[in-house]
Amino acid sequence: MSRALLEVRRLVKRFGGLTVIDDVSFSIPTGQRTALIGPNGAGKTMLFNLLTGVYPPSSGAIFLDDVNLTRVPAVQRVGCGLARTFQNIRLVGHLTALENVLLGQQHRSGGVAGALQAVLFGSNNRWAKEAREGLRAASLHTYADTLVRHLPFGVRKQVELVRAMMARPKLLLLDEPAAGLNPAETGELKRQLEAIAAGGVTVLVIEHDMAFVGEYCDAVIVLNFGRKIATGTPGEVRRLPEVREAYLGTEATVGAD
C-alpha cells in the first residue's frame, strides 16, 4: 500500500477554556479518498484551518509527505502541497473567473520577478493560458471572463475547485463541495473529483451528503465535539452505533450497505 501522505498526531486546539480539537490523530495514505464527517460544530473546518495554518495548534503535529508542517507559516503551506476550498465560497467577486483562478498559481509564480509579470486584463502569457486551460478542462471556459459575482452558485463552486487545483497540490482539502448543488451539479462534481483523484491527487473532503461519500470515498473519519470517534470505510462507519447516535440518527436511511 502507499505510505502516509498526511499524518496528524495528537492534534489539540484550544481557545481559552474551549477545546475545539481534542487529541485527534489519523493518517491518510497517498491516493486515498477520505471523507471527514460529523455534526456541525464538530471541528471539521477547524481541522482544515489547522492543516492549512490559519491557526497554530495548541499541541500535536502535522506531517505532509514526511515534512513537519506544524510550525510552518500558513503562507508557505501551499508550497508544500496543500490546497483547499472553503465552506462559504471565498472568491474575489469583482474579478473574473479567470483572474480568480490565476491566484491559485501564486506559489509557483516565482518571487519578485513573477510578481511583475502582466497576467490580467487580456494578457496571453503562459499563466493566463494555463488558467484558461484549467477552466476549459472543467467546462467553464465560457465563464472565464465573467465577473464571479455574476456567476451562479454551482459555477462559483467549480471555479474555486479549479483555483485550488491550479496550485498543483498533493493533498486537496475540500470543505463541503457538494453543499447547495443540485443532483446534476453533484454528478459533475463527482466526475471532476474522479479525474482529480485519477491524476494522483489525494483528496480529503468534508461532507454531509452521505450518498456522495459512499460513492466517492474509500475511507471516512468521524469527528464529534473535536474528537475522532471512528474511522473506516463508509460501509463500516455507517454501521457503528456511536456514529449513528452522534450523527446519522437512529434510523439510517442512506441506502443499501
Shortest Cβ 137–another protein spacing (Å): 19
Residue 94 in 3-state DSSP?
Answer: coil
Shortest Cβ 172–another protein spacing (Å): 13
Nearer to another protein, 12 or 74 (CB): 74
Shortest Cβ 64–another protein spacing (Å): 15
Shortest Cβ 120–another protein spacing (Å): 5
Nearer to another protein, 73 or 183 (CB): 73
Nearer to another protein, 19 or 52 (CB): 52
Nearer to another protein, 111 or 200 (CB): 111
Concatenate the DSSP letters of all residues of 124-171 into one string: -SHHHHHHHHHHHHTT-GGGTTSBGGGS-HHHHHHHHHHHHHHT--SE
Contact residues toward another protein (CB under 8 A) are 45, 49, 52-55, 74-79, 83-84, 86, 90, 92-95, 99, 102-104, 106-107, 109, 114-123, 127, 144-145, 147, 163, 167
Task: Report the alpha-carbon distance of residue 35 to residue 47 in Å, rounded.
Answer: 13
Shortest Cβ 45–another protein spacing (Å): 8
Place of cell 502582466: 118
Burial 158-185 (b: 16+ CB within 10 A, else e): bbbbbbbbbbebbbbbbbbbbeebeeeb
Task: Report the alpha-carbon distance of residue 53 to residue 243 in Å, rounded.
Answer: 28
Shortest Cβ 6–another protein spacing (Å): 17
Place of cell 463552486: 157
Integer angstrom CA distances of residue 77 from 11, 188, 218: 17, 29, 25
Shortest Cβ 97–another protein spacing (Å): 11
Count CA atoms within 13 Å of residue 23 on its CB side.
1
Task: Report the alpha-carbon distance of residue 150 to residue 44 in Å, rounded.
Answer: 30
Nearer to another protein, 111 or 241 (CB): 111
C-alpha cell at 145: 471572463
* CA 4 from centre of chain: 17
Neighbours of 256 (CB within 10 A): 5
Nearer to another protein, 62 or 213 (CB): 62
Nearer to another protein, 3 or 126 (CB): 126
